[in-house]
Structure 1
Amino acid sequence: MRRRTRATAPPNRLGFTLIELLVVIVILGMLVGLLVPAVMNAMNTAKDAAVAAEIRALSQGLAEFKTTFGAYPPSRIVVREDGDYSSTGVLGTRTVAQLRRFWPRLQLSTSGAPSGIPGGFYDFNGNGVGDTTTYILSGPECLVFFLGGIPQGNNTSGWAMTGFSKNPLNPFQSAAVTTNRTVPMFEFNNSRLEANKSNGSVFPGYLDSLGKSADPNFQPFYCYFSAYGGVGYDPGDVDFSGAFTELTDDGVALIGAFKTSNAATPPTVGQIVIPSPSPNPYTNGPPVPTTAAGTLDTGSTAKSATWLNAQTFQIISAGRDRRFGIGGQYNATATTNRLPFVFADTGYVPNSFQTQQANAGVTSVTLGPEARTGENDNLTNFSPGKLD
């Protein structure tokens, strides 16, 4: 009789084959490749949104200042702890008028040191010591000073903003002298208060939450420009000059051009165009009028610059690339070319002047349109998102 045998069952598999593993690895790599850009984009969007929200909060603080004091704060002042503005020129005279508007009972003088200052001096820098140094506060410092009050600390140990004294005769008393103080109109993150090295200031500016610049000499503070109630913007109110100027990739200083408007220092006779280092405020149209040939138009029909937020202020963040760019014309309603630049060798149309002549006049180097690429990701209080 024939015996039947059972077929031998195949052995159990103990793992994947090499081909199967490679297929899985390839699929996972594709998924990661798709996921990482999406995650990074979401993270960057969230970072931009945080800066935009902080700009809105700063704007609310400035609105509160205007409600309290009757006007938006200036974006460049000179301060003297002895109240003597006799040697501070036009900027000093303008500062005296502005400070008296906010605090009418201040003792300030344009002809010598006044007498009767409570406490003996105004402790603008909060160090508890009266001195006779003239300090110039530019846009970044003015934003912090007028919204935060008297600083406490220094660039080594860090700063905190302590508001102003409620003494109407001396609102600039240090917190070490009196605790009867106003509350700052914006809650500054102390870790982002840093000295503005570009003017040797002992006053802090405020960095946004996107981080510092790779260049320790050029820090992208929130830049604040005041329209001075409609008088006009002064591009020199935020002037990172000298070794602290923003540079192109080739190491050339970025200089913008603007028609004289509300300059703190009167221009020389015949000077109409102000060359101004980056950063600069923004205009609806070209910042200076030109003819069809590209030359300065000084005729009776020449168009003057029209400023964005002409009655209020501009706050500008350098964006993720930590660069401001040259400023000037911004076509807010355009679908393309919102940050225009005109080449000299391709011909001009009237009022097309941008910035290359000003840059060449200062640095002997003519800029190209790439000089404005740093502005693409700038965040401001006059645009709903990035500039381009």
Structure 2
Amino acid sequence: MMTPAERRRTGFTLVELLVVITIIGVLVSLLVPVIWAAVARANDARVGGEINILAQSLASFQTKFGDFPPSRIILVEDGGYDVASAPAALDAVPFYAGMSYQSPPPNLGGNPQVVTGAGDKTYAALATQSISFMRKFFSKTQFTTGPAASGIPGGFYDFNGNGVGDQNPIYLEGHECLAFFLGGIPTHTIVGSSYTLEGVGGFGGNPRNPFRPAFLPDGTLDPIGQNRTEPFFEFRAERLVDDDFDGIPGYIDPLGQGPAGRYFAYFSAYGGRGYDPNDVNYNAGAISEPNPVALPFSVSFPVVGGPNPRVTGSPLPNPYTSSLPVATGDKPATFHQPQSYQIISAGRDRLFGTGGQYTDSGTGDRLPGNERRRERDNVTNISNGTLD
């Protein structure tokens, strides 16, 4: 038979419970930061791994075509850029007005972000550059600096896969160029005037018009768009986002979708001719960050207007330099990866930061300047992992 004392001892005392809870709380407080740090490192590694795969895809593209994709381009579906009658400024050109999407992701909004003024290229300069790249990559196609090209199979180049010959030019920035050149023509489900983006499906096998989708708007096979090439990179459809409604998407990194989505920023060095900070400008779009900053930024080729013809104002993000990001005398900024390209992820905090000088060696501050802390978690191809 149990004694009265034994019967009373049926559980833990309040003091014992408090001690146990305190110990558990201390252990949790010690483990949670460790777990979050491990998760953060895993996410950084995931983004870095994807950038490495993109880099391999870009290398394959260069092997096939002799150059990396540009990071800003104009596409005209009738092949005629009509440079002589075009307005001088990019923002005066009637760029593509936009498609009507059936089920837009929650972070869509805005029109093509064309930043002009002191330091930017004219429409004619960018059109001439665009024609040069398109002829280099697709040598049997027809592009002219005058009116519409002739002899296009099917009558037009359906760059955005919407089944009609669009009259206005389509303006692509770096993130869209990455998806277009590595992925190919977008595919859509088309119901009336509503479009649902399904993915990207390579280029058609007809060398005179590889810019046709595999299927016509009525769902029948397009004979011009058959025998398609495989994309250089397998873009996940749910991460292809078209926030300017031109039918050609950019690719967001794996760290967030919806309002947290951020594109992979892609800057081309144009084969050593120099980076152009205006190739990627997110400040007016929904996939952006608060309080964008426009900074003077040196480019390595002459630009239009401004007291210093080598300095331009560019909203964030900007490519990274190993020197000061503005010219010193007649010497332009020195860029990282000067012969190839830069790919930049906004990192865990979803903030790109302004870009500019980054020192990848030494003991000083690698990101000098005010408000550069937001860039420490950026993941790029210029560093192994994050920038910090």
TM-score range, shorter chain: 0.7 to 0.9
Question: 1:84–1:108: 8 Å Cα contact kept in structure 2?
Answer: yes
Partner secondary structure for residue 153 of structure 1: strand
How far off is 1:268 after superposition?
Answer: 5.2
Question: 2:243–2:286: 8 Å Cα contact kept in structure 1?
Answer: no
Question: 1:143–1:224: 8 Å Cα contact kept in structure 2?
Answer: yes
Question: 2:298–2:325: 8 Å Cα contact kept in structure 1?
Answer: yes
Match of 2:203 in 1: 164
How far off is 1:174 after superposition?
Answer: 1.3
**Higher relative contact order (CA closer than 8 Å, sequence separation 6+):** 2
Match of 2:380 in 1: 380
- 1:1-388 to 2 correspondence within 5 Å? 10-12=5-7, 13-87=9-83, 88-153=123-188, 157-176=196-215, 177=222, 178-197=225-244, 201-212=246-257, 214=259, 219-242=261-284, 246=288, 252-262=291-301, 266-267=304-305, 270-290=308-328, 297=329, 302-341=330-369, 369-370=370-371, 372-388=372-388
Which of these two proteins has the greater Rg computed from alpha carbons?
Answer: 1
Taking the aligned partners of 1:40 and 1:19, their CA distance within structure 2 comes to: 32
Deviations 1:104-136 (A, max 9, x none): 111111121111001111000011111211011
Question: 2:242–2:250: 8 Å Cα contact kept in structure 1?
Answer: yes
Taking the aligned partners of 1:336 and 1:270, their CA distance within structure 2 comes to: 30
Taking the aligned partners of 1:50 and 1:201, their CA distance within structure 2 comes to: 29
Letter in 2 for 1:377: D
**Unaligned stretches of 5+ residues in structure 1:** 1-6, 291-296, 342-368
CA RMSD of the aligned region, Å? 2.3
How far off is 1:80 after superposition?
Answer: 0.5
Taking the aligned partners of 1:201 and 1:334, their CA distance within structure 2 comes to: 44
> If the length of structure 2 is used for normalisation, what is the TM-score?
0.81
Taking the aligned partners of 2:241 and 2:70, their CA distance within structure 1 comes to: 20
**Unaligned stretches of 5+ residues in structure 2:** 84-122, 216-221
The 1:58/1:21 distance shift into structure 2, 3 A limit, reads same
Letter in 1 for 2:362: A
Partner secondary structure for residue 275 of structure 2: coil
The 1:55/1:189 distance shift into structure 2, 3 A limit, reads same
Question: 1:239–1:277: 8 Å Cα contact kept in structure 2?
Answer: yes
Letter in 2 for 1:66: Q
Letter in 2 for 1:208: D
Deviations 1:43-67 (A, max 9, x none): 1111111000000011111001001
Taking the aligned partners of 1:275 and 1:288, their CA distance within structure 2 comes to: 10
Aligned-residue sequence identity (percent) comes to 49
Partner secondary structure for residue 6 of structure 2: coil
How far off is 1:267 after superposition?
Answer: 3.7
Question: 2:274–2:299: 8 Å Cα contact kept in structure 1?
Answer: no
The 1:47/1:99 distance shift into structure 2, 3 A limit, reads same
Question: 1:126–1:175: 8 Å Cα contact kept in structure 2?
Answer: no
Instruction: Tell me how many residue pairs correspond in the alignment.
Output: 336
How far off is 1:334 after superposition?
Answer: 2.7
Partner secondary structure for residue 188 of structure 2: strand
Deviations 1:266-323 (A, max 9, x none): 3457533101000110111001134xxxxxx3xxxx4321110000000000001111
